[in-house]
Structure 1
Amino acid sequence: MRVLFTPFPAKAHVYNMTPLIWAMRNAGHEVRIAIQPNPAEPDALSSAGLSARSVGNPLDWEQRTEEGGGEYTDEELALIAEFPIAQTDGERITAEYAEVIFDIWAPLCEAMAGADVTADLVEFAREWKPDLVVWDALVYAGPVAAKACGAAHARLLMGSDHFGRMRRALEEQQRDPMRDWLTGKLGEFGLEFDEDVVLGQLTIDAMPACTRYETDAKTLPVRFTPYNGPSESPKWLRDKPTKPRVCVTVGLSSRENDIPNKDDGFDAAELFEAVRGLDIEVIATLRAVEAPENVRLVDFVPLNELLPSCAVVVHHGGTGTIGNAVVHGVPQLVIPASSWGEATAAHELEKAGAALTLQPEEFSAQALRERLVRLLEDKSFVDGAAAVRREMLSRPTFNDIILDLEKLAASR
């Protein structure tokens, strides 16, 4: 069959989709990838041995947010802070709360796949006629193109399914900003809205079970497959560490930005003060000039190679880092960023006994040191991480779910 993939044009999102792309190709299916060009990250696909069809104009995030209405006023920013999509208090998620969430996120989704991207993708889909479209959960040009060419479509999550849990909270009589936005987007191509445009006909979820929420989406759990891009394993990584090793990473997306020593809750000076004098080895993917003797600064090292030797990983809560840590059973210290639900994932991992969290507003050398020492000394976190790992490894792999996707395409 013919399968069209539509990733968001950023390395972290491309890498999240790459294992499924290769599983589909290895199963003998004809695959095409359509992606908006991103001048800042032009090699994400080619480095994975993949080629793509460009759709839409080159990504200019500042222009996109202005066109999509995503450039917020101070009052709107205050509203976003009051209504985070990563709300950890389930009792607060009412129909009214969900309505505000979609008021916030509909214009952002438009910014991430605007009219030019959608028009080009629809044209290509109608020309190539895929049987199945697999779309990044933030690229809503994907399901529009699928409906336009009559293909089945599946949504690939890049984190916890917050849209799904917010859709579940909406009541029938509520105003629905997501439906209103997508109705207009679909109407440009003579199409009508239905709910599977929001949540997919099938949702593929590689997040740990403890981070999953009750939704109305038909969800297919899958094992997270680490893919960290092309890299060379450094020679020092071949030697077994002589003391507990701690990985500190701000994630792929943050590293691609030119942030020398601070991102969200991470401050290099505070971090170095926290670990100074501890009998540990710290591997940190931070750009800094000076560090204590027990800190090794590296520009990049593949997590899939590094984490098996680590006792703890300190990170921002990104999907790729969580997935790598879970697969290797490594306890986590999460200082959650605010991109997409990192706070809720951290909260649920902590409840599962596999992690501790440190909110960015609480970040200090002392707070970081206390949590890090606790993770290193309290072996219950090793047990908690092992339990989360067992659940993850019990799931089907991307190779195993190809039959489910073939059935979905055949039923369209």
Structure 2
Amino acid sequence: MRVLFSSTSGLGHVYPLVPLARALSTAGHQVLWAGHASVGALVSWAGLASAPAGLQGAGFTAVIDDLRRRGRQLPPTERAAFMFPHVFGSALPPAMATGLLALAREWHPDLLIHEQAEMASPLVAAVIGVPSVMQSYGGAVPPAILTEAADRLESLWRAYGLAIPAYAGCFDAPFLDICPPSVRPVPLTHVPIVQQLRPTPYAGPYQDGLVVPGGSDPLIYLTLGTIPGTTATLSAVLRALSRMSVRIIATAGPEADPAALGEQPAHIAVTRYAPQTQILPLCDAVISHAGSGTFLGALAHGLPQLCLPQAADQFRNAHACVRAGAGLALHPDDATPSAIVQATWALLDQRPLRDHAARIRIEIEAMPTPEDVVPLLEFLTTS
């Protein structure tokens, strides 16, 4: 079986799909990954082949930067409803459909698998007459937002001589959901068939020389994600935590300069980026933006977390975390230094938070593995 994966370029969109791609490859199937040129470097560490497709270079950067600028003019809680349809329903799919279709006609895949922000794949699958499967990278996209993105895709489907199906064909095959049911930010009543899939850790190669502050105080992982523009907020959080008797390992982001955060005391270590698979096993708690990768990674390790959502799906994740009793959350307007310190002590002192996080870890461990799901995907290509 030949399986063509496709994704957008963010780490949080790529890494969640890698374990399934590796499971298919290990089972003897041929796997090829299509996306922005930067994706090739991300998946090559997993031994996966890739090919460029979609907007590239300066054209990609200009489009994304413009939409981010427009999105920042909105209140943080409203940005996801603007950004998802405009970026993933309008800006990226036309070029992606062209490149992905050309690649598919050359490579002849039996199955296409895409993450939920890469919405050209169902169209290409319909054109060449093979199944397309969507996998989440966290919680599902709310149906109203997905519907608006699909509405923006209708003219593209018509250009290929096709009528657009409901939700742009994203749920025409079983939906692979990596979010444990107890913390689903969005109910899946609109999805015909849901196949649970364990959120399996993958975060690229280990970082040599990772500095972990010494001592016996609790160790907290602090991150506000990999998207540029969070340095000022991260600096404020570090200042709030600097007088606490805790150790902090913080990541500033792959494109950020840790030196811009200023000199830190000995119990705080800051690096650009380090794999969560390397950091989380060492930690007692997590403070983050509640991006899906960090949100699920902390739960997979049974760690309580303080969510400081900034944009995108982070507010939904933070709400789900609090609802499940596995963590706390502060809205940007409420994230004062004293509130951050108080919430951090609560993470370490309140046993129910840790117990609920541990319960969700057990729930995640019971979910089907990528290897368990491979037979379903094989069946789709033969039925």
1:236-290 deviation per Cα after TM superposition (whole angstroms, max 9, x unaligned): 65x9851211111122x23xx3x5832xxx341x323322332211111232221
Name the residue aligned to 1:216.
190
Distance 2:325 2:32 in 1: 41
Residue of 168, 175, 182 corresponding to 1:197: 168
Q: Secondary structure at 2:142's aligned position in 1? A: helix
Name the residue aligned to 1:172.
none
Q: Secondary structure at 1:279's aligned position in 2? A: coil
Alignment of 1:7-406 (within 5 A): 7-38=7-38, 43-59=41-57, 60-64=59-63, 70=67, 77-78=73-74, 83=78, 85=80, 101=81, 105-111=84-90, 113-164=92-143, 177-195=148-166, 197-200=168-171, 201-212=173-184, 213-217=187-191, 218-232=193-207, 234=209, 242-251=216-225, 253-254=226-227, 257=228, 259=229, 261-262=231-232, 266-268=233-235, 270-286=236-252, 287=258, 288-339=261-312, 341-406=313-378
TM-score by length of 2: 0.87
1:294-317 deviation per Cα after TM superposition (whole angstroms, max 9, x unaligned): 212223332222212211110111
Residues 1:240 and 1:22: Cα distance change in structure 2 (over 3 Å): farther
Amino acid at match of 1:227: Y
Q: Is the 8 A contact 1:247 1:313 kept in 2?
A: yes
Residues 1:336 and 1:126: Cα distance change in structure 2 (over 3 Å): same
Residues 1:297 and 1:338: Cα distance change in structure 2 (over 3 Å): same
Identify which range, 366-375 or 176-185, moves more after superposition: 176-185
Distance 1:320 1:8 in 2: 15
Residues 1:18 and 1:379: Cα distance change in structure 2 (over 3 Å): same
Q: Secondary structure at 1:410's aligned position in 2? A: coil
Q: CA deviation at 1:6?
A: 0.4
Residues 1:163 and 1:26: Cα distance change in structure 2 (over 3 Å): same
1:334-393 deviation per Cα after TM superposition (whole angstroms, max 9, x unaligned): 101212x11111111111111100111212211100000111111111101101111111
Q: Is the 8 A contact 1:209 1:392 kept in 2?
A: no
Distance 1:49 1:203 in 2: 25
Distance 1:246 1:104 in 2: 31
- Stretches of structure 2 that go unaligned for 5 or more consecutive residues are 253-257
Identity %: 26
Residues 1:186 and 1:22: Cα distance change in structure 2 (over 3 Å): same
Q: Is the 8 A contact 1:314 1:332 kept in 2?
A: yes
Distance 1:377 1:272 in 2: 20
Q: Is the 8 A contact 1:233 1:302 kept in 2?
A: no
State how many pairs are aligned: 371
Distance 2:136 2:278 in 1: 24
1:50-107 deviation per Cα after TM superposition (whole angstroms, max 9, x unaligned): 22121234143453359xx958869x955x767565xxxxxxxxxxxxxxx5x86433
Q: CA deviation at 1:4?
A: 0.7
Q: CA deviation at 1:42?
A: 5.9
Q: Is the 8 A contact 2:299 2:360 kept in 1?
A: yes
Q: Is the 8 A contact 2:32 2:48 kept in 1?
A: no
Q: Secondary structure at 2:217's aligned position in 1? A: coil
Distance 1:149 1:196 in 2: 19
- Stretches of structure 1 that go unaligned for 5 or more consecutive residues are 86-100, 168-175
Residues 1:278 and 1:2: Cα distance change in structure 2 (over 3 Å): same
Root mean square deviation, CA, Å: 2.7
1:132-156 deviation per Cα after TM superposition (whole angstroms, max 9, x unaligned): 1101211111111111111111111
Residues 1:289 and 1:29: Cα distance change in structure 2 (over 3 Å): same
Q: Is the 8 A contact 1:112 1:138 kept in 2?
A: no
Q: CA deviation at 1:34?
A: 1.4
